[in-house]
Amino acid sequence: MNVETLRYYERRGLLPAPDRAPSGHRSYGEETVRLLRVIKEARALGFTLAEIAEYLSAARRSASPSEALRLRMAAKIDEIDSRLAALRRMREELARVVGCACSSLDHCTCGAAYLARRGREPGARPLLLHVTNGESAGNTLRQTGIGGAVLPWQDVLHEGPVPAGSRTELRRVRAAFLSSCGWGSRRALLASLERRDRQFEALRDGLQVVLWFEHDLYDQLQLLDALALAHGENTPPQLIVVGAFPGKPGFAGLGELTADELETLWPARGLASEETLDVAAAIWDAFCAPEPSALADRSARSVSSLPFVAPALRRLLEELPAASDGLAATERRALQAVAEGARTPQAAFLAVRRVEEAPFLGDAWFYRALVTLGRLLETFDGTPLPAAPPLTDGQVFARLPIRLTDEGERVLRGEPDRAELLGVDRWLGGTHVTADNLWRWTGWQAC
C-alpha cells in the first residue's frame, strides 16, 4: 500500500497510531497488516470508507450499537446476501463449463485449483511460508493472525504415475497425467508445479517453512513429497500434522477448522529432525520404486515422528488388485454401494466416503474410478458411462442413473476376477500395474 494511504487511514481512525522508533519511523505489527487486509477486502466489495470506519468503531465498542446503526448493518447484510446469490448462480454456471463436480474448491481434491491458479506468480518472498494440502486449509490460514504466505501443494499423488528419477522429469510426468485427465493444458500444469517447487526453495535461504497436513492418504503422500524435497536443505521445515481435534469427533481435516482453531495448533509445531527427513526420503523412494515390495515393508513399520504414514501406505496398497477378486478397494466399495442402492455416481461417492476410515478421495477422482470399471457398470438405459469430469460436465455426470451389469454382480461375488476380465492399467506410485506386471494385494504383503 502507498505510504500516504496508510497515513490517511490513520487520520480517518481506521488504523491505530503505530509505535515509532527513536528515528521517528513508524513500526507496523501483524495486527495492523491483518486490519489492512480487512479494509482492502471491504473496499473491493463496495464498502465506503465511512461505512468501514463506522463498522470498525462499532466492533471495537463493548456496548451495543445504536438502533440506527443496527438498521444500516442489517440493510448491508441484505445487500451482501443478494450479491452472494448472484455469485452462487455465476459459480454454478462456471463450474458446469469447467466440468468441476465439486461444491467448493475449498473442500475438494479433484484438481480444479490447478485451473484456478494458472499463471499466478507469487509476490515478494515471505519470511514465513505455510505449506498445506490445498485451498481449504490454505484459505483459512490466510485469515489467521499468524501471518506469512500460503503454498497449497496440490497434487493427487495416489493417482497416476510417480516414477523415480529427477524432479524435473517427475514434474513433466505429473503435468502430462493431470492434463490427460482434463485439468488443464500440459504447459500450464507444468508451470504451476515449477512455481510451487520454486516457492518451496525458501528453505534454501533459511526462511521459516511450516507444513500443515492431516492424517489421510492424500495428505500423507504430499507430506512425504515435501519432506523428501526438503531432505538435505539448509533449514528443515516445521511440522503440524494432526489426525484429531478437540470437540470434533468426526474430524475430517484441517479444512473444517476455523481460523481461531487453526491458531491453537500453532504452538504445537515442531522442527522436522534429520532422522525424520531421512525416513521420509526413504519412504518416498519406496513409493516411487517400480515395484511395491519396499512400500509394503514400510507400511508394516511405524514411525513415531510420522505416525500417520504407515496406515496411509496400507490404504494405498489396498488399491492394488486384490488376490481374491482383482478389485481395488475403492472399486469394490463403489460396486457394493451401487448394489446396496446408490443410484447415482454422487450417491455412490457419498456412500464410499462414509465407510472410509480417513476419507481421501475427491469426487472427480472417484468418478474416474467408476469409469475404469467399464462394462461392470452402466446407465439405466444400458449405455456405458461417459468420460469422467472434467472431461465431461461434472454436474450431469454426478446425477447419472447407474446400476450394476450382470458381469458387475458376478465380479462383486468374486467370479470372475476383475483384473482377468477387464485387464488392468494403472499406477501405484512408481509401479505400473498391468496384465504383464500384475501385483496383487493379500493384506500384509504384495505377491
Cβ atoms of 183 and 390 closer than 8 Å: yes
Cis peptide, bond prior to residue 416, ω within 30 of zero: yes
Amino acid in the structure at residue 197: D
Q: Please count the other Cβ atoms lying within 10 Å of the Cβ belonging to residue 142.
A: 15
Between CA 350 and CA 361 the distance in angstroms is: 11
Q: Which stretches of the chain drop beneath a pLDDT of 50?
A: 107, 119, 121-124, 445-447
Query: According to the model, what pLDDT value does residue 446 have?
Result: 47
Query: According to the model, what pLDDT value does residue 369 have?
Result: 97
Query: According to the model, what pLDDT value does residue 14 have?
Result: 84
Q: Crossing angle for the helix pair 186-200 and 167-180, nearest 10 degrees?
A: 140
- Cα 305 to the chain's mean position, in Å? 22
C-alpha cell at 283: 519412504
First to last CA, the chain: 61
Task: Say which DSSP state 416 is in.
Answer: S
Angle at the Cα of 371 from the Cα atoms of 367 and 373, rounded to 5 degrees: 120
Query: According to the model, what pLDDT value does residue 284 have?
Result: 98
Query: According to the model, what pLDDT value does residue 240 have?
Result: 97
> What 3-state DSSP class applies to 288?
helix
- Cα 333 to the chain's mean position, in Å? 22
